[in-house]
Amino acid sequence: MAALVAGTLLLTTACSGGGDDAPSWQGGGNETVTSESPSPEPTLSTVAVTSPAQEATEVEAWSEVKYSSEDPDNTTVKVTDAKGDEVKGTVDQDENVWRPAESMDWGTKYTVTVDTPAAEGKNNTTTSSFTTMKKPKNLVRVTSFLGDSQKVGVGMPLIMKFGREIPEKYRAEVERKMVVTATPAQEGVWHWTSSTEVHYRPKVYWKAGSKIFYKVQLKGVKMGDGWYGRSDLTVDLNVGRSLIMTVSNKTKKMTVKQDGKVIKTIPVSLGKAKTPSSSGTMVVIEKKEHTVFDTMDELGPEEGYRTDIDFAQRITWSGQYIHAAPWSEGVQGRTNVSHGCVNVSEAMGKWLFDRTMMGDVITVSGTEEKLKNGNGWTDWNMSWAEYKKGSALH
């Protein structure tokens, strides 16, 4: 009986109501709908910062910012410091990456803002923050051999030195941060002469009168496990006229060309058979109007000597010079009697000294010994193809 009553009540309830009232299960009627209304769809974002992670710390000073975007061609990325000043950088829309144009400061908080045109129902802007690492204890000193406003010869290599060895796997990034600009434009490349020194030369000699500017941005660049570059530097210098010295052992003469024209032919005496001069292409490393050559400790009392020298121009680390040698003037142009140097007369020594500058080129040919690369600034003693092999980027 209880079951029958329950069924009757259910039927009555289901059929109650009249007029325009619609069944409650169709959303009509005056009955209260007890089912919950669906939640609104969440607003989706069209952009996101994927790296560094939100509120990341110990971020390296040259770190890239990576992001995602539904409209990368029209996406803008802005990185600002705690003061709101924008950090210079470039956006690669193909890779969705922002790269800093300079090192960020140590221990500083930065905010990334990524923005695209508005899309209906979606966020088109996102922000994220990160903090760079504190100034590390292990910093590598970086120095340039050349300084601002110097004038050099057409064979002068640019030389950068490091306070510690740079492992090979870090050298490519170091090279990328050392940018050379020549006016007029000239093709060139960096070449590692050792783990602590890198040189730069153009494909052919610098054009006379060129202006050279190089910007070395190595502050914060990783140079080893736990080691980073200490600082940035810039150098602005000038190339002088072209002066090329060519020495032939066969003729015992030096031909001097300035801006492509022969301006002097000078008799010379080169190294004797026991101490031959090196055949190869060198440049003037340093100049001393007056100096003393002392080989007593190196060669002993029988072979060694101590001699005053005028107008000395070093061309190798092993001690070969162009210099005045009045004691050999009687044989210059005919016989080799030196200990490896290029001997000229006192008058021609002064004439050369007054006209040359660091980086001027001298090529010696026809002697018994070939120049060893590294014995001086021997950058031009290699072919262009060979020189490029010394770059971590080639």
What per-residue confidence (pLDDT) applies to 299? 64
Which domains can be identified in the chain, with CATH numbers? 45-132 (2.60.40.3780), 139-240 (2.60.40.3710), 243-378 (2.40.440.10)
What integer pLDDT is reported at residue 394 of this predicted model? 83
Q: Write the DSSP assignment of 151-194 as a string of letters.
A: EE-TTPPEEEEESS---HHHHHHHHHTEEEEEES---EEEEEEE
Residue 13 token pair: 């309830």
pLDDT at 44: 53
Block residue for tokens 């022969």: 262
| Mean pLDDT in residue range 266-279 | 97
Element (H, E) at 127: strand 125-132
By mean pLDDT, which of 134-138, 296-300, 388-392 is the weakest?
Answer: 296-300
DSSP letter at 390? T
pLDDT, residue 301, reads 67
Token duo for residue 165: 């060895």
- Per-residue pLDDT of 349-362, as tens digits, reads 999 999 999 999 99
When comparing pLDDT for 45 and 219, which is higher? 219
> Percent of the chain, pLDDT > 70?
84
| pLDDT per residue as tens digits for the range 110-151 | 999 999 887 665 668 999 999 999 999 999 999 999 999 999
Mean pLDDT computed over 22-40:
45
Spatial neighbors of 71 by CB under 8 A, at least 6 apart, are: 46, 116, 117, 119
**Mean pLDDT value across residues 184-207:** 98
pLDDT higher for 43 or 326? Answer: 326
* pLDDT at 183 > cutoff 60: yes
